Structure 1
């Protein structure tokens, strides 16, 4: 048996995804954002989270999914990648589960339109439930992190 991995499960475009709990700072309800010019479309803006200016990206746009309406279930998952904290807009944050690392397989080239480089792997949670684990370092690749850091400085 491999080691246990604690993961926050969230939904996006009718699929379940996971991100490691240790990368997650907090989960927030949707809130007003300040739009910032000259940023990629998927960067929705910045929020003031307890005195910290935090850039927010919409994962629908990041992965090239059609936009979705924000609902009462929509959440912003605040994750830390290195020194940078970024909000990820998801359709809903569902629960926290433990996954045995032996149950995680390498991702195929493309899963639901998402390129493999954005994925850490696919976890088989049960016979009917697969969970796509995100690779946050790639979801927020270096060039975008530099852009987001500049964004924080502009505000």
Structure 2
């Protein structure tokens, strides 16, 4: 029988980036996605939680000017960097949150974060955002969520 995690295929645009200037302001990773990208990530998260230690890679689409105007950091002109891909895995440890500033981006989350990640992703198509999740300790960064503009 095929592992559902291995059958998962990404759909839509997933945008992940970090700001590179004034690193203490808007510190962390920033995420938005179009509706298909959100649905794809929502399908992926529980599959990862059921297979701790395994990972999937998500192709990252760089943010557009319209996307960067949502957080509006320096009127959308702040310098940023985006990885080409994002590796995501779940940990069997409940409170794990490992999300360093790296390229490719590499997130390991514990099952204790699954509900919060799912709720945050579900909010993107409803225009919700401007908050972060995660436990940014020991070199890890939080993950900020932003609504996706229609003209992205």
Same fold, TM exceeding 0.5?
Answer: no
Given the two structures, how large is their TM-score scaled by the length of structure 2?
0.35
Higher helix fraction (1 or 2): 2
Q: TM-score, length-normalised on structure 1?
A: 0.34
Larger Rg: 1
